[in-house]
Amino acid sequence: MIEKRKIFKEVMSWIYTIAGALILVTILDTKVFAMVQVQQRSMENTLHDGQELLVDKVSYDFTEPQRGDVVIFLENRSRDNSFSDFKIFLDDVTQRKQENTRLVKRVIGIPGDEIDLRDGYVYLNGEKLNETYTQGTTVKQGISFPLKVSDGKLFVLGDNREVSIDSRSFGLIDKKQIEGKARLRVWPLDKISSVK
């Protein structure tokens, strides 16, 4: 009888430990940071297909996205509350939707900015941007320009302008779509560096 009780206590201890670890991982992944794999060429030469990024999910709870930030956002969903964060986490775990729902782009325009595309270049509030990180020319796609960035919205572009599908096609994104800021490239190991 004492032996059964001892085994039961040991089993329950393991169950509590595993459950606690799963809860901790869930909280960290939904609220603090996540690992995301780049599944596209739209950010070349800054980021390449297959690279792994550490995404900071906390910063934008306290600050606003800034021009030049490389952000990961949900293509067709928004992060309205903790329940939606948990639902997105469950979708990632159970359905492996990560590569289909997230995009990696650079913030070009924030609320109040006017964006224009002329002669293959981006103009921000009337000034031509000096974009040393881009590849290809910036041509108009489906959206009319000049474009004013409204409150709660952002204008985002991929660095590889010739292949990127971005705000030129789908328009402004809602800040609630942003999952986090790309902070660190962690894979491959010889490319570990901060994301700029």
* Catalytic annotation present for 9: no
Among 9, 13, 31, 42, the one annotated catalytic: 42
What DSSP state is assigned to residue 119?
A: T
Catalytic residue among 4, 13, 105, 167: 105
Please name every residue paired with 155 in a beta bridge, in sequence order, or none if there are none.
Answer: 109
Active site annotation includes 144: no
Give whole-number Cα distances, 129 to 75, 108, 126, 136, in Å: 26, 9, 9, 14
| Those residues with Cβ within 8 angstroms of residue 146's Cβ, 6 or more apart along the chain or in another chain | 114, 115, 116, 123
- Cβ 180 vs Cβ 74: under 8 Å: no
What is the DSSP track for 28-95? IIIIIEEEEE---STTTTTS-TT-EEEEESSGGGTS---TT-EEEEESS----SHHHHHHHHHHHHHH
The residues pairing with 71 across neighbouring beta strands, listed in sequence order, are 105, 181
> What is the enclosing helix (H) or strand (E) of 14?
helix 2-27
State the catalytic residues: 42, 105
